[in-house]
Amino acid sequence: MVTQYKNLIGGKMVTTDRMLDVVNPATEQVIGQVPACGKAELDEAVAAARAAFKTWKNTPIEERRAAIMAISGAIKENAEELYRLLTSEQGKPHDQAKGEIYGAAGMSAAQSTLSLDDEINEDSDTRLSRTRRVPVGVVAGIVPWNFPVMMAVQKIAPAMLSGCTIVLKPSPFTPLTTLRIAELIADKVPAGVVNIITGEDDLGPLMTSHPDIDKITFTGSTATGKKIMEGASADLKRITLELGGNDASIVLPDADPKKVAEQLFWSSFSNAGQICVAAKRVYIHEDIYDELSAAIVEYAKTVTVGDGAQQGTGVGPIQNKKQYERVLELIEDAKDNGYKFLLGGNADPSGTGYFVPLTIIDNPPEDARIVAEEQFGPVMPLMKFSTEEEVIARANASEYGLAGAVWTGNPDNGVKIAEQLETGTVWVNEYLHLSPFAPFGGHKQSGFGAEYGKEGLKEFTYSQVITVKKEKAPA
Ligand code: NAD
């Protein structure tokens, strides 16, 4: 019997007549069903969020913080059940799923400590001018399938903290863990403040065009982000877009191949490469190219690809069939063009599960599809470079600008290079570290606005300036 999950609308767990199947990408078995919402259910959720907004926006911030902490606590208390469910729908190995669940609990707790204080613009004999922040209203959160829980919580927490209410839509591929969390928090958050509804991709445009939604916060592909921006222009909804990336890692000749090989491997292959900020292009200086590429391949041979629920699995399947086929297409393209494979490249599309062997490609040209496009899978192109100037130009020659990394024995020089990269985040000698207190957002076509930190929180608010004329006291 397949478990049926419910949606959270106006504080109640509810369902619809039509259901969607959710598939485990390792077994291709249906593991759950979720409501397939349309306009009627969306209208109900938006009405619940609108009604709750009246009270929530005036609820003291300490109470809003407490409600976020209650969500964080519920996630932590049920972590084991949640990470197992997450592995079954998303595919990532248990230890990485555990990291996502505890990460979501920790990030939301940390975000709840933020605040946006009033700012005094002028306090003179004649005038007092003050800027305050007011919540934008009802927010729609739209989430992808690679980090379904982390992305959901990183939208819910700042929305709640700012005084907004939210209608959240998980990806139709990975809604189960989020709906289980919905059930766990239904009686911990005032009715209507957080609503979670599921549906197919066509539910997204209904949200973008909904007249009673004030803001869209979206994480997903650049192609969908553009559609959202276009849709939101009709009534000038506020938007935050966290989009795709084609991040470059630059390894300088003074980096120690033995030290960095394993970290470089995981920067590309964690979550089977399905991370917006994964290292998708790795540039290695020619002096250490042979030694480092051999060390990465050696390490890769020790990592097992398989069902994330099985002990010892390091890399799970691709999350869904469409993405699996896209990754195989990029591998075929590399083969057709005669690029050299240092590892992998031979998937078995007739087998069960969307598994792609760990694949490392040797020095493909810049215009190879595997270099120019976002692969979002376990395929790592390694490229040789000669000078810093050349590699900076090659790293920046992308329409994306999400993140990047520099690996070096000289961190000061690493920072000089980092400052020349056209991306929202650059790591020196580390990777994938995100802070709840630092803005995370993309340059160029990787995004619009930011999440996290005060900058991220501000995106859920308008500024309002109150200016009071002071009367001169009678002489
Ligand atoms: P996607 O754009 O296909 O889908 C994301 C969400 O948008 C899903 O919930 C989907 O149902 C919904 N959607 C689809 N069409 C829509 C439309 N026309 N209007 C509104 N909503 C719509 O992305 P995906 O394949 O789920 O995720 C992978 C992409 O997400 C990659 O490009 C990755 O780099 C990016 N991503 C970015 C970040 C970041 O923070 N920058 C984080 C994770 C993933």
CATH code at 299? 3.40.309.10
Q: Is 401 buried (19+), middle (13-18) or exposed (0-12) by CB count in 10 A?
A: buried
Q: Other C-beta atoms within 10 Å of 272: how many?
A: 33
Query: Which ligand 1 atom sits closest to the C-alpha of 201?
Result: 11
In this structure, the answer to whether residues 345 and 225 fall within a common structural domain is no
Per-residue confidence (pLDDT) for residue 253, from 0 to 100: 98
H/E segment holding residue 393: helix 388-396
Query: Which ligand 1 atom sits closest to the C-alpha of 143?
Result: 9
CA distance 140 to 231: 13
In this structure, the answer to whether residues 22 and 56 fall within a common structural domain is yes
Band of residue 427 on the pLDDT scale cut at 50, 70, 90: very high
CA distance 345 to 432: 26
- Nearest to 390, CA basis, from 420, 368, 419: 420
Q: Is the pLDDT of residue 475 over 90?
A: no
In this structure, the answer to whether residues 230 and 303 fall within a common structural domain is no
Domain contains 435 = no
In this structure, the answer to whether residues 274 and 128 fall within a common structural domain is no
* Identified catalytic residue from 242, 374, 451, 459: 242
Question: Catalytic site residue 242?
Answer: yes
- Least confident piece of the model among 38-47, 313-322, 415-424, 465-474: 465-474
Distance 422 CA to ligand 1 centre (A): 22
Strands 359-362 and 379-385, bridge-based pairing: parallel
Ligand 1 pocket test: pick from 247, 274, 276, 446 the residue with the most ligand atoms within 8 Å of its Cβ.
Answer: 276
In this structure, the answer to whether residues 180 and 262 fall within a common structural domain is no
Per-residue confidence (pLDDT) for residue 279, from 0 to 100: 98
User: For the segment 109-165, what is each residue's pLDDT rounded down to a tens digit?
Assistant: 999 999 999 999 999 999 999 999 999 999 999 999 999 999 999 999 999 999 999
Would you say 219 and 144 are in contact if contact means Cβ atoms under 8 Å apart?
yes
Per-residue confidence (pLDDT) for residue 268, from 0 to 100: 98
Q: What is the pLDDT averaged over residues 266-286? A: 98
Domain contains 439 = no
CA distance 326 to 332: 10
User: For the segment 235-262, what is each residue's pLDDT rounded down to a tens digit?
Assistant: 999 999 999 999 999 999 999 999 999 9
Q: Is the pLDDT of residue 290 over 80?
A: yes
Domain contains 156 = yes
- Nearest to 296, CA basis, from 331, 257, 323: 257
Q: Is 85 buried (19+), middle (13-18) or exposed (0-12) by CB count in 10 A?
A: buried
**Percentage of the chain surpassing pLDDT 70?**
100
Q: Is 91 left (phi over 0), alpha (psi -120 to 50) or beta?
A: left
Q: Which residues pair with 34 in a beta bridge?
A: 20
Domain contains 472 = no
Per-residue confidence (pLDDT) for residue 5, from 0 to 100: 98
- Nearest alpha carbon, ligand 1 atom 9: 171
Domain contains 177 = yes
Per-residue confidence (pLDDT) for residue 349, from 0 to 100: 86
User: For the segment 56-98, what is each residue's pLDDT rounded down to a tens digit?
Assistant: 999 999 999 999 999 999 999 999 999 999 999 999 999 999 9
Ligand 1 pocket test: pick from 34, 143, 146 the residue with the most ligand atoms within 8 Å of its Cβ.
Answer: 146
Per-residue confidence (pLDDT) for residue 347, from 0 to 100: 85
Tokens 């994964």 belong to residue: 278
Per-residue confidence (pLDDT) for residue 100, from 0 to 100: 98
Greatest alpha-carbon span in the chain: 92
- Nearest to 442, CA basis, from 388, 374, 340: 374
Distance 241 CA to ligand 1 centre (A): 10
In this structure, the answer to whether residues 151 and 104 fall within a common structural domain is yes
In this structure, the answer to whether residues 394 and 346 fall within a common structural domain is yes
Per-residue confidence (pLDDT) for residue 348, from 0 to 100: 86
In this structure, the answer to whether residues 234 and 182 fall within a common structural domain is yes
Residues flanking ligand 1, CB < 6 Å: 142-146, 169, 171-172, 201, 204-205, 208, 219-221, 224, 227-228, 242-245, 276, 374, 376, 402, 442, 447
Domain contains 441 = no
Per-residue confidence (pLDDT) for residue 415, from 0 to 100: 98
CA distance 32 to 5: 7
User: pTM of the predicted model, to two decimals?
Assistant: 0.97
CATH code at 72? 3.40.605.10
In this structure, the answer to whether residues 399 and 453 fall within a common structural domain is no
Distance 347 CA to ligand 1 centre (A): 25
Domain contains 374 = yes
Q: Extract the tokens encoding 422.
A: 């056209």
Structural domains of the chain, count: 2
User: For the segment 2-43, what is each residue's pLDDT rounded down to a tens digit?
Assistant: 999 999 999 999 999 999 999 999 999 999 999 999 999 999
User: For the segment 7-18, what is each residue's pLDDT rounded down to a tens digit?
Assistant: 999 999 999 999
In this structure, the answer to whether residues 161 and 177 fall within a common structural domain is yes
Show the domain range for 21.
3-243+446-465
End-to-end CA gap in the chain: 85
In this structure, the answer to whether residues 180 and 322 fall within a common structural domain is no
Tokens 């555990």 belong to residue: 98
Query: Which ligand 1 atom sits closest to the C-alpha of 199?
Result: 11
In this structure, the answer to whether residues 302 and 203 fall within a common structural domain is no
- Nearest alpha carbon, ligand 1 atom 40: 242
Query: Which ligand 1 atom sits closest to the C-alpha of 446?
Result: 41
The letter for the amino acid at 245 is G
> What mean pLDDT is reported for the chain?
97
User: For the segment 350-406, what is each residue's pLDDT rounded down to a tens digit?
Assistant: 999 999 999 999 999 999 999 999 999 999 999 999 999 999 999 999 999 999 999
Distance 223 CA to ligand 1 centre (A): 8
Domain contains 129 = yes
- Nearest alpha carbon, ligand 1 atom 16: 204
Strands 359-362 and 340-343, bridge-based pairing: antiparallel
Distance 140 CA to ligand 1 centre (A): 14
Per-residue confidence (pLDDT) for residue 214, from 0 to 100: 98
Q: Is the pLDDT of residue 472 over 90?
A: no
Per-residue confidence (pLDDT) for residue 93, from 0 to 100: 98
